[in-house]
Chains A and B, each alone.
Chain A
Amino acid sequence: MSSADDAPGLMVTEAPAETGAPEIGPPSPRHGEIVDALAAELGDGFLAHHYSAHDAWVRVAPTSWRQAGRICQEKLGLNYFCFIAGLDWQLAPDLGAEKRWDPDAEATEDPGDGPGNWSTGVAGGDTRFGVFARLYDVIRHVGLTLKTDAGDSAPRAESWVPLFRGADWHEREAWEMYGIEFDGHPGLRHLYLPGEFEGFPLRKDFPLLAREVKPWPGLVNVEGLPGEEGDEGEEAAES
C-alpha cells in the first residue's frame, strides 16, 4: 500500500507502487505497533500508511475517521491532541505555471481542476480536499499523522470534538479556510474572519489579492557561487 522512494517520496495515485526503491521500515518499533494496531482494528477503513525516517502517516477511510481517532486516544495512548487541519490538492490556477507539481514537466497553460490533476502526498489520497491531524503520546514520545479524504466539491469529514474538546477551534478554522463541514461539530462559525466573509481563503482557487494587483516576479535569478558545481548551480546560471 505504501510507496517509498529514497527521498521521502510522494505517492501519486496513478503511479504504480513498485518503484524499485527499498521499503522504509517504521522509524521506531512503537510506530510500527501503532500502525499495525490501527490496521487490525479498522480493517477496511485502513487505507494506506507511510513511513519516513522519523515519522509515520496513516490514511483512513472517511467513515472510519472518528473511530481511528478514538482508537488512538483510548487504546494506543496517543491522547495529546496537536492539531487538525485541511488541505487542498488542486493546483492554483493563477500560479499553475510557477508552482507546478513536477518541476521538469512542461508548464501547462491550464492545469484544469478535473480529477487527476492534483497530487496526493504521502499515504495517497483520492479527493481534492483532505483532512489531516496530528496526535502524540506524551509518555512514549511517539507521534502520528492521520489523514482522510474529505471529498471534491462539498468537502465533509467527521468531527473529532466528541473525542478532543480542543478540536473545536481547529475544525472551525478548517471550515472557515477550506469550507470543510465537520459532522457532529457543535457550531461551525467564523473564527478569524468577519461573520459576513464569503469564500474560503485557503482554497487554491481563492485569488490572493496581492498577487492580482502585482503578479509574482518569479524566482530571482541566482547565479551559482564560484566553485559550486552540480546541476543546481548550472541550471540556476542558465535560466
Chain B
Amino acid sequence: MPLFEIAGVHKAFGGIRALNGVDLSITTTGTYGLIGPNGAGKTTLFDIITGLQAPEHGTITFDDRDITGWSAHRLHALGVVRTFQECRVFPEKTCLENMLFAVQKKPLAAAIGQAFWRSTAHLRAGVDEARRLLDLVRLSQYEDHPADALSFGQKRLLELATIYMRQPRLLLFDEPASGVNPALLDTLRTFILRMREEQDALLILVEHNMEFIMDVSDHIVVMHQGAVLEEGAPDTVQSSQRVIDAYLG
C-alpha cells in the first residue's frame, strides 16, 4: 500500500481547468520536490490536499486513510501539516508560545477541563524541545519576543520550526524559500535536511527556486497543465527533454 497517494484529482475554477487528473503514488518517506511552470496547479493541489478546496473528482490517501476533504484540524491530528506561501505565524504569541502551540491538540472538553485541574506539565515537557528547535533556526534570543517583531525570513524559519515541533508525518511546504534572503536560505536548507534526518516523514515541497529544491529533494515531480508530467531523481528530471521543453528551457 502506498504511503501517500493522489488519485485522479480534477479541479476547475469557472472555465479554467486547474487540475486535470493528477496521479501520484509515493511508497516511502523522503523529500519530494514539486515543480512546474506557473499555472501548473501546484498550489491548488496543496490546497486540495490540506482541505482548503474540494476536488471535483479524485481522492487523497495517506497512511491507508482517505483524507480527501478532511478539515485542517483533523489533518493536524493525523500529523499532516503545511507552511504557507505568505508565511503564517501567530503575530502576538511569542516565538516560544508559537512553538508550544504547535503540538498535538487535546479535544475541546479536555482543553476546557484543563482550566480547572491546573496541569501545565505537558506544556513544560515541550519547552526543552521547543528551545532546541529555536536554537537550530537561530531564533533563541527571540524566544520571548512576539513573532510579529521578526523579519520575514525569521518568521519563515519560525514557521518551519513550529511545524516540525508537531513531529509530523506529512509535511507540505508552500514555497518556503520565497522572500528569504541568501543568508537565511542556508539555515533554511539545513533545517529541512535536518528534519528529514531526525524524523521519518514524508516532505513535499513546492518551490520556484530551482537550485534550492534540487538541492533539498530526493525525488522531483514535475507538473504541467494540471497533471504530473514526469517524476524521478533530480538529475534525471533535469536532463529529461520533456521537462526541459515544458519548463526549464
Chains A and B come from one and the same complex: no
Residues in B lying within 8 Å of A, measured CB to CB: none
